[in-house]
């Protein structure tokens, strides 16, 4: 289903300009769930860059975690989430997520979400890394796509929601210290949405890295726009690298769901030996950060790739449970049920983002954020598998309720706040390509980080950002805007990673191997130096 630009109550003032009660930027699970709630009391404009199937929601294979099983509870789900977050989760955010999650998942099922079910008719629950029980609902290996289908069916039939497709948001409009909508660009030209309240639901920033599971549109637009508008961002040093991504020359990087290991798949080296227990007591079901680092170390130790094998599992079950993954492997010349599948880590999810309270309020009045673009503290230093769709669902709905109520922003969570300047004149700097930014980030701000590498990245990204700033006013080229967002978010990630002189969760420094609670049991927010 493609976005509709059909009739709705929000009106055009002139060509390309809209007025509405609410603006939602992004069309993943957080944005769509919010739009539905907002439409109960006002008119809504949704700006989306591309087909909704290209959101990160549509790429989420494994499932959505919720405490709905007979041996599960919100308390147990919270315990697993806090453990994965490695000491930096906001407990209030976690408790809210796990307690409200089952209600919103039940709502999805009532709306027609076709999650897989067991012989007794109850949801078939999977187990993934760092979960203590089976609690992940799934629709084969295309859960995100199924949730997106259900939400888009409701959004597209709602006359109070107008969806503008092929719309690249360029900047937030700020008047008298308040967000009042956004400027955007489509194939027809430039436009503006004037709105009382704006929700950023733009998803992630995986495309900042050369190796990523994210779609091409995941370029960190929301974080970049919010930062430039003066809003605080936080926890950006914590980037989760998914350990099992298909790594075949000439084939696109493709996520091999953690549910594979939940069903018994094993990581092996070039000799076919299981190796995870050598590095982590939890073995193949350790948290993603631990598995990714173990894979890198094993590849270095053996000077060869590592593989995922399912050859010891029933072939018919694998094909039925993971049809999309099996088809993708087959297109790359591999049999998922029999062949060792070459895998490597790739950038998957950014735990940090635009800092919010538990209702989506940011530090900029009139601006809200939900989903991966936001940072509530619910994930801490490392997200628990399959909590991302739940986060979008729960916090998208909560942000909408807050937007409907209005009022002034609540106090943001306690954190250190630093002023970061991204730009630095470097005479010979030229505007980089997207590929140059992504290569730099993968080399120096990837799974294993060093002081020297991070300094190199920060210096180069500052020079590039300065060069882009000089050039962008001369053009409305969407490619330049894309590179600007990549360099902005990359620079913020690199600066935050250089500042945090410890290893915690998904942030690992080879020069500071250990977690340092004395100095770093805290979150750090960044804001523009001129705000």
pTM above 0.85, yes or no: yes
Q: What is the mean pLDDT of each run of 10 residues along the chain (531 residues)?
A: 45 70 96 98 93 55 88 98 96 98 97 94 90 93 89 95 94 96 92 97 97 93 97 97 93 87 95 95 89 94 97 96 93 97 96 97 96 97 94 98 84 81 70 96 97 97 90 71 95 97 97 97 90 54
**pLDDT, position 15:** 53
**pLDDT, position 2:** 39
**pLDDT, position 474:** 58
Find the distance separating the first CA and the last CA of the chain, reported in whole Å: 41
What CATH architecture applies to the domain 11-58+148-239+349-405?
A: 3-Layer(bba) Sandwich (3.50)
What are the CA-CA distances from residue 168 to residues 29, 57, 183, 200, 212 (Å)? Answer: 18, 18, 9, 13, 21
**pLDDT, position 131:** 93
Tokens of 163: 């969806």
Give the CATH fold of the 416-528 domain: Methane Monooxygenase Hydroxylase; Chain G, domain 1 (1.20.58)
**pLDDT, position 60:** 53
Respond yes or no: is residue 515 known to be catalytic.
Answer: no
According to DSSP, the β-strands at 341-350 and 416-420 are: unpaired
- Asked if 370 contacts 396 with a C-beta cutoff of 8 angstroms, the reply is yes
SS (H, E, C) 433-484: CHHHHHHHHHHHCCCCECHHHHHHHHHHHHHHHHHHHHHHCCCCCHHHHHHH
Q: In angstroms, rounded to a whole number, what is the distance separating the alpha carbons of residues 445 and 443?
A: 6
Nearest to 135 by CA among 259, 26, 284: 259
Tokens of 117: 């079910």
Q: In angstroms, rounded to a whole number, what is the distance separating the alpha carbons of residues 53 and 33?
A: 15
**pLDDT, position 410:** 64
What CATH architecture applies to the domain 244-346?
A: Alpha-Beta Complex (3.90)
Domain edges within the chain: 11-58+148-239+349-405, 64-146, 244-346, 416-528
**pLDDT, position 225:** 97
The residue annotated as part of the active site, out of 127, 145, 288, 504, is 288
């Amino acid at each position: 289903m493609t976005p509709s630009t059909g009739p709705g109550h929000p009106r055009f003032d002139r060509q390309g300009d809209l007025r509405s009660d609410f603006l939602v930027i992004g069309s993943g699970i957080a944005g769509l769930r919010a739009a539905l709630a907002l439409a109960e009391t006002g008119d809504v404009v949704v700006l989306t860059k591309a087909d909704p199937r290209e959101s990160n929601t549509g790429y989420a294979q494994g499932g959505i975690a919720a405490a709905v099983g007979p041996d599960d509870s919100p308390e147990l789900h919270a315990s697993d989430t806090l453990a994965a977050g490695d000491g930096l989760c906001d407990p209030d955010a976690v408790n809210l997520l796990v307690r409200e999650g089952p209600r919103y998942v039940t709502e999805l099922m009532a709306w027609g979400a076709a999650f897989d079910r067991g012989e007794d008719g109850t949801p078939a629950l999977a187990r993934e890394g760092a979960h203590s029980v089976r609690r992940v609902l799934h629709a084969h290996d295309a859960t995100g796509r199924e949730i997106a289908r259900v939400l888009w069916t409701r959004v597209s039939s709602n006359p109070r929601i107008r969806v503008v497709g092929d719309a690249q948001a360029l900047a937030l409009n700020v008047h008298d210290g308040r967000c009042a909508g956004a400027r955007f660009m489509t194939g027809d030209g430039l436009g503006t949405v004037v709105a009382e309240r704006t929700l950023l639901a733009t998803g992630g920033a995986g495309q900042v890295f050369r190796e990523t599971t994210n779609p091409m549109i995941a370029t960190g637009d929301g974080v970049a726009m919010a930062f430039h508008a003066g809003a605080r961002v936080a926890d950006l040093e914590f980037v989760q690298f998914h350990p099992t991504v298909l790594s075949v020359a000439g084939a696109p990087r493709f996520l091999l769901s953690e549910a594979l290991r939940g069903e018994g798949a094993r990581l092996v080296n070039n000799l076919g030996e299981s190796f995870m227990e050598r590095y982590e007591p939890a073995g193949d079901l350790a948290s993603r950060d631990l598995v990714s680092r173990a894979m890198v170390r094993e590849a270095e130790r053996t000077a060869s790739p590592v593989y995922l094998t399912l050859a010891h599992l029933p072939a018919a079950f694998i094909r039925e449970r993971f049809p999309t993954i099996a088809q993708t492997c087959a297109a790359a010349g591999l049999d998922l049920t029999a062949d060792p599948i070459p895998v490597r880590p790739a950038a998957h999810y950014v735990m940090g983002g635009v800092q919010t309270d538990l209702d989506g309020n940011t530090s900029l009045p009139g601006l809200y954020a939900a989903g991966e673009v936001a940072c509530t503290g619910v994930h801490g230093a490392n997200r628990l598998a399959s909590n991302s769709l739940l986060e979008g669902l729960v916090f998208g709905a909560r942000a909408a309720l807050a937007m409907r109520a209005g009022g002034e922003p609540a106090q943001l969570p306690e954190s250190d706040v630093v002023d970061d300047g991204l730009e630095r004149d470097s005479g010979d700097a030229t505007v980089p390509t997207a590929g140059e930014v992504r290569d730099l980030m993968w080399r120096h701000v990837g799974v294993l980080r060093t002081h020297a590498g991070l300094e190199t990245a920060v210096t180069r990204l500052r020079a590039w950002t300065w060069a882009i700033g000089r050039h962008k006013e001369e053009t409305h080229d969407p490619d330049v805007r894309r590179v600007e967002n990549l360099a902005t978010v990359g620079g913020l990630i690199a600066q935050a990673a250089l500042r945090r002189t410890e290893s915690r969760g998904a942030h690992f420094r080879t020069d500071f191997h250990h977690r340092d609670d004395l100095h770093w049991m805290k979150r750090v927010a960044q804001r523009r130096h001129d705000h």
